Each structure stands twice: as structure tokens, then as C-alpha cells.
Amino acid sequence: MSKEKASPRDLPDARGRFGAFGGRFVPETLISPLEELEKAYREAWTDRSFREELDFYLRDYAGRPTPLYRAERLSRELRGATLFLKREDLCHTGSHKINNTLGQCLLARRMGKRRVIAETGAGQHGVATATAAALLGLECEVYMGEVDMERQALNVFRMELLGARVIPVRCGSRTLKDAVNEALRDWVTNVDHTHYCLGSVVGPHPFPTLVRDLQSVIGKETRRQHLERTGRLPDCLVACVGGGSNSIGLFHPFLDTGVRMVGVEAGGTGDDPGQHGSTLRLGSIGVLHGARSYLLQDDEGQVLETHSISAGLDYPGVGPEHAFLKESGRVEYVGVSDAEALEAVDLLCRTEGILPALESAHAVAYAARLAREMGKGASIVICLSGRGDKDVNTLMAARSRGGERGGEITAWADHDSPFPYNPDPPAPFRLPG
Amino acid sequence: MDGKTRLEKMFEGLGGRPALIGFHTAGFPDRNASLRICRFLLEKCDALEVGIPFSDPVLDGPVIQQSSFRALRAGFRPRHIFSLVGELRKASDKPVLIMTYYNPVHRMGHGPFCEAAAEAGADGILIPDLPPEEMGDWRETANRHGMAVILFASMTTPDERLRELGGLTQGFLYCLAVKGTTGLRESLSRELAPFLEKARRLCSQPIVAGLGISKPEQCQEVGRLVDGVIVGSALVKAALDAVIAGEDPAIAVSALAAQMHEALCSG
């Protein structure tokens, strides 16, 4: 029997493929452990007691459901569509990452693994893994690029407080990509007793599906909350895309609707290689970290260095389901520059009293532009995937560079900035609370 | 050709002893020096694997990582592998295999890659991150150009799958001697002997062990259970150390390979 047109929500297929993307490009040593993981996950997902335990922790420990907040002042300032913020920044540990790590650590415990490892870029996934591991009594080690340890020093300390060991990664670009490499090397060595708690919808099958299913709680809640609030679905969803976990979590429950969806990648400082993390917008098809997807690579297949002011988007790969959604045209993928993201931080702080993570600020920046385009009466949901406390050092450094920022904007932008650059000297930054 | 591949002829001509297959990272420390190292190695070994340096060597430990990064920094490009293999083919009739991560092959395209490899005179291609399930038309394409597609087996591989891999592989079955990345190991895993015995039982092709085998004594010990031993990191480390010390890496590498060869002959 052949289906005329399968819903994109039914993917992946039995081999872990989203159309031409995904799969399991791993060494033989990991084939059998990945099959075991897939089986354990399928069993757990249909086991009521597992789901109830996960729901319990998501509600009573992580603070779900998170609010869908109508950002009145922000909407008014932009004089356009109504903006809603899905407040994943209010989750325990400060980002959506906890949705995934609670699920995976419960699964690790169910599989009898006593140790979990993770990679982290911004440190949010590392903190969320360390948290879930502490909660469930698992040993935890986190790989983090040396560059990222510097720019996210606060999160390094948090992980250590939580009893995790943070292992600096000194090879390659010393960022997220190399942290994934090191975590894979650890996993292939210690696979008997270790679960790799992968933080995004990347990697070999079943990770892209497993992480998506755990993050889909974002979109399921959003759908229900928006319906309750307005009696209809939103017109547009906007989320940032590094590996793509918060975005797929928001988008997936809407895939079979007509709702417009926009994924926002790191535009960095320009479109030349090494200046950005715009994998879907500027990359090509390749195989990295166990899956076929889009990739920033040179013409001989070597992976390129990337840049973003936000560590969480500083990654040359992207989840295979996003590659599929790009090819099918269901989701638009765009870029937002470092400078625009910084402006969006200011904008959200000033109008709503919310300090977003630099990653999430990319989504805010593009949504601000869309709000003007789509105009009054339209409704846009932004996934505010994390809070910005971890970024204060980066923000302070950006502020002290001061006047450079105007230059950066004109050097990059091929469009007008969504909100005018304020030439007045900015007020000093203050931590909330 | 008389119908037999170079790999088949190699295994037949060993007179009962296990083969020594050496490895070197192509382009390390630079193109010319790596050609010289490979030539020296090929003299001491029964066959040679040359690795294409890749930006993200997830399956490699620190030694091969370092050699790969240095090769890339010295300007080595994946397509240079073909001229390197071509030069080796002029000098020797022993089997030469190309080891690569999948992405450079994916990028170049299956057909063009195999065509260039065949033209250079390679005998087979090993891609550790391309399991049979993901091969697409890789196997047919490689075979059309006379390239053997060599598969891997691991201690984590279930029996049924091990039997399948043993049936599918061409030339030999590459049995991963450790769970983990390439690199030097002080001692061999206790799980290794039972695994190799099982592979022998379930697979009719020659059995070759590699990964983590770093000393002549280890070659000898593993050699008793297999048809061949692959040594990578230990040889690359000898080259790295020599380069750092300002000595000739080709001589250092071939001296170590000679010791290993002797250990295998007297095993």
C-alpha cells in the first residue's frame, strides 16, 4: 500500500530518514548501541509510567507549562503584528534544554546506564544535563570547547556546582562542533555504561527524533495556549536554529497546519565562510556527526569554521529534519547578524523587561522585522528559548566596543534594520534581581 | 591481471603468517615527506592504508587527529590522495587501500571518487562512518571500478550482523580491536580474543584486526588469531616524534614497521 501523501509529521521512516536526510553514518561500534537506544526509547515512549514520570518532572520540577506571554509593549513599539513569547526562558535552568535532558536522563536510567555525557556550546545544554543527572543520581561529564568556556564562564561554574565535570575541548575550532566530536569519541569508547545525552536534533538516528519528540512539548503547549487565548492558530512561528531543537520543538506540532514558520540562523558578521553559522541558508548537503544534512563545508568536503556571537548557534551542521523542511519549502530559513541580535536584546529588555539569551535574540530580531511586514491583526509566536544571564559578559564586551556596532550593521545588512540604531550612549547593563 | 586481486594474492603469498598492514596519514608532515614515508612503509609491510586527512576525525584519537590537522595545514587536499597512491603504485605491486571519512567522498561523488582511485591504482576503500545500510550505490560503483569495499566489525556487533558483514565485505573483514577511537593502548582488551575467534567462525573472508594495536608484542599476540594486523597510530606517532625531534620520519617509521613484521614472522 502506498500512501498518496504522508504527513511530514510521520517522518522519519524506519531507517531514520527525513526524505534524503538523516540516517546513521556511524562506525560499526555504535550501530548496535543506537539500535538499542531506539528500541528502549520506543518502549519508554509508549509506557504510561515512563510518560507519567516525565510529565511529573516537567511540571513540578521544570515548571511546565511555560507561559505564552503576549508582549504588549514590544508589539506597540513595532506598530505591527501582535507578538507572543513562548517563555522557555522560564524553565528551570533557564532554557528549553531541560525538556530534553529530563527525558534522556530518565531513559538512561531505565537502560541501566550509570553515566551520561553531553556536549555543550552556550552551556545551557550542559547545565540542563548536569541538573537532570544530579536529580537522578547519574555521573555526568560535559565536553565544552575552550572558546565557549571562556565566553560562557558562568555556565561552566554552574555545571561544576551541580557535580558535573566539564572537560575542555582544545582541538579544531574549540567550539560546539569539536565538543560533539569529543563526546562521540567518549561514547564510542564507553558505550557499555554511558548514555550520550545529545543536546539537539542532530546526530545519528534516533537522536533527531528522540530530541524532537521531547522538545515538541513547546509546540503542543503553544498550540493549545494560542487557541485558548485567541480562538485560532497563530499566523507565524519564529525560532532560532543552531542544531535546531527549540525550533523543531515549536514547529513540529504545527507541521500539518498552514501556519507560516521561520527558522533564524546566525548571520554573524557576514556571508563569507567563517563569518556566520547559516548552515541552511548558505551551506550544502553533506555528512557530519552521523547524519546527512546541510553543512558548511568547502568544495572538497572539509567542514568550515563558523562564527556567531552566540555560542549556541556557532555550529556548521543542522538537524536533518530541518534540511528536509527547507527542501520541501515548509519552513523558511533566514539569517540575523550579530549586531541585529544585540539590538534585539536591548529592545526586549527595554520594552518588556526580559533579558533573552543571545540565541533567542536572533528570533526576536527577525520577528520584529516580520511584525512590521505582517502588520496589525497578525499574530506571531517567538520561541524565547533561553534567558540571557549567561551572556552578560559578551553583552558587556559588545557595549564597550560601542561605536563599532554601527559599522558592523552597515557592513553586513542588505536590508534596513528593524529598529533604528540608537546613537545615544547606552545605559549600563544590570542583572535582573 | 590474472583474475586475482592484489589483496587475494597477498593473503595467499604469506605462507601461513599474518599480514602486516601499515597506515599513514596522507600529507603528513607534507606531501613529499608523506610519499617518502609511505614508500618506506610499503617496503616493510605487506599492504598500506593511506588516510585522507579530515577536519573532523571523530573516530581518531589524538595522534591521528594531530597528523590530520598538520596535513591539512600543510595544504593537503583530498584529491591529492590520488597522486600519492599513483606514485606508490609506480614503486610497488603491493595492495594500497584508501581510508577516508565519508564526507569528502560524498562531496566528490561516488563515481568520480572511485574512478580517480582506480586510475591511481588503489585496491580498496575503507570508510568507517559508512555502514552497509547507508551505502546507496557506493558498493556497485566501487566494484564497477575494481575497488574492494572493506567493511568493519566491532565487539558490539551482534552475531547475526557479524555473519552478514562477513558475507558482504570484500578482501577482508576489518575487526575493530577496541571499542573506541584510534590510538595507542598499553594492553589489549580481554574481549578481543573471543571476538576474533567468533569472527573467524562466522566469516569466510580473511580476518584482519586493527585499532589500538601499538607494539610488536601485541602484533604477535593478535597475529595468532587473525590473517592480518593493521597498525596505525603507533606508526604515525613514530613519524610525529621524529618530525618534532628533527629526524627523518621515514626511517623512524620503517624501523618500527620492521620490528612489527619480524614479530609477526616469528609468532
Distance from CA of A290 to the nearest CA of B (A): 8
Residue of A170, A185, A194, A196 to mutate, testing the B interface (most B Cβ within 10 Å of its Cβ): A185
Of the candidates A29, A33, A190, the beta carbon closest to that of B176 is on A29
Catalytic residues of A: 97, 119, 385
A189 touches chain B (CB under 8 A): yes
In the predicted structure, residue A309 carries a pLDDT above the cut 70: yes
CB-CB under 8 Å, B131 with A289: no
pLDDT-derived band of residue A407, with 50, 70 and 90 as boundaries? Answer: very low
Instruction: For chain B, list the domains and their CATH numbers.
Output: 6-265 (3.20.20.70)
Please report the DSSP string for A357-399 in residue order: -HHHHHHHHHHHHHHHHH-TT-EEEEEE-BBSGGGHHHHHHHH
Rounded Cα distance between B185 and A234, Å, is: 58
Q: ipTM score here?
A: 0.96
- Which residue among B2, B8, B43, B49 is the active-site one? B49
Mean pLDDT of A173-199: 94
CB A81 within 8 A of CB A377: yes
CB A167 within 8 A of CB A142: yes
Task: Enter the C-alpha cell of residue A18.
Answer: 527525513
pLDDT-derived band of residue B1, with 50, 70 and 90 as boundaries? Answer: very low
Residue of B nearest to A303 (CA): B55
Q: Phi, psi (5° rounding) for residue A8?
A: -60, -15
- Omega before A206 cis (within 30°)? yes
pLDDT-derived band of residue A3, with 50, 70 and 90 as boundaries? Answer: very low
What's the pLDDT score for residue A405?
Answer: 43
Please report the DSSP string for A121-162 in residue order: SSSHHHHHHHHHHHHHT-EEEEEEEHHHHHHTHHHHHHHHHT
Q: Which is nearest to A290 in space by CA: A320, A335, A256?
A: A320
A179 neighbourhood in chain B, CB within 8 Å: none
Average pLDDT over chain B reads 96
What's the pLDDT score for residue B117?
Answer: 98
The helix (run of H) or strand (run of E) holding residue A27 is none
Residue B221 among the catalytic residues: no
In the predicted structure, residue A92 carries a pLDDT above the cut 70: yes
CB-CB under 8 Å, A286 with B131: no
Q: Which is nearest to A432 in space by CA: A338, A345, A364, A365?
A: A345
Average pLDDT over chain A reads 91
pLDDT tens by residue, A105-122 = 999 999 999 999 999 988
Percent of chain A scored above 90 by pLDDT?
A: 85
B79 neighbourhood in chain A, CB within 8 Å: 300
CB A76 within 8 A of CB A109: no
Distance from CA of B15 to the nearest CA of A (A): 31
Percent of chain B scored above 70 by pLDDT?
A: 99
In the predicted structure, residue A295 carries a pLDDT above the cut 60: yes
What's the pLDDT score for residue A420?
Answer: 34
